[in-house]
Amino acid sequence: MTRSITGKAEVVLEYPDKLFIGTFDRNDHFEARFEANGILLTLQRGDGTEACRAARLHLAPQVLARVLFELADSVSETAPAAANRVALRAAARTLEDALASAEAEKEGAELTPEEEVLLLHVME
């Protein structure tokens, strides 16, 4: 599901002989989701222009985890503005809750040997 970008995002690709820059703002959209083998972040131009229509970033979960740790380490050096800190904390809590919920659902889906025996008796 795509959502509107509420601020500004910039993607820069630097090569030895070329530089590509794509800027995304309030007219544009993003999508972030977990996939089978990683995380996908898509920034999509919303105004129909041909220049840099979309930027996609695929990350292994371990890479995103390391990025989050690095962000945490850098807060003391350059803390975001207060309003941004509130939004970041809320997003981090929401991700933590969603991951915990997914873990609980997975654990609940597996039956213990005792539960399997009880289920067999009920089904008889």
List, for residues 35-48, the tens digit of each pLDDT value.
989 999 999 988 66
Looking at the fold, whether 9 and 55 belong to one and the same domain comes out as yes
Looking at the fold, whether 87 and 70 belong to one and the same domain comes out as no
Looking at the fold, whether 15 and 72 belong to one and the same domain comes out as yes
Q: CA 63: distance to chain centroid?
A: 11
Confidence of residue 1 (pLDDT cuts 50, 70, 90): confident
- In sequence order, the β-bridge partners of residue 73 are none
Contact 41, 57 (CB under 8 A): yes
118 phi, psi to nearest 5 deg = -60, -40
Structural domain of residue 15, as residue ranges?
1-79
pLDDT at 114: 77
**In 10 A of CB 111, how many CB atoms?**
11
Per-residue pLDDT tens over the stretch 90-119 = 999 999 999 988 877 766 656 677 777 776
pLDDT at 50: 64
Confidence of residue 79 (pLDDT cuts 50, 70, 90): confident
Taking phi first (over 0 means left), then psi (-120 to 50 degrees means alpha), and beta for anything else, what does residue 48 get? left
Looking at the fold, whether 84 and 65 belong to one and the same domain comes out as no
Looking at the fold, whether 18 and 73 belong to one and the same domain comes out as yes
Strands 19-24 and 9-14 turn out to be antiparallel
Looking at the fold, whether 39 and 17 belong to one and the same domain comes out as yes
Looking at the fold, whether 30 and 87 belong to one and the same domain comes out as no
Looking at the fold, whether 88 and 65 belong to one and the same domain comes out as no
Of residues 82, 83, 31, the one with CA closest to residue 57: 31
Looking at the fold, whether 53 and 94 belong to one and the same domain comes out as no
Number of domains in the chain: 2
Looking at the fold, whether 64 and 74 belong to one and the same domain comes out as yes
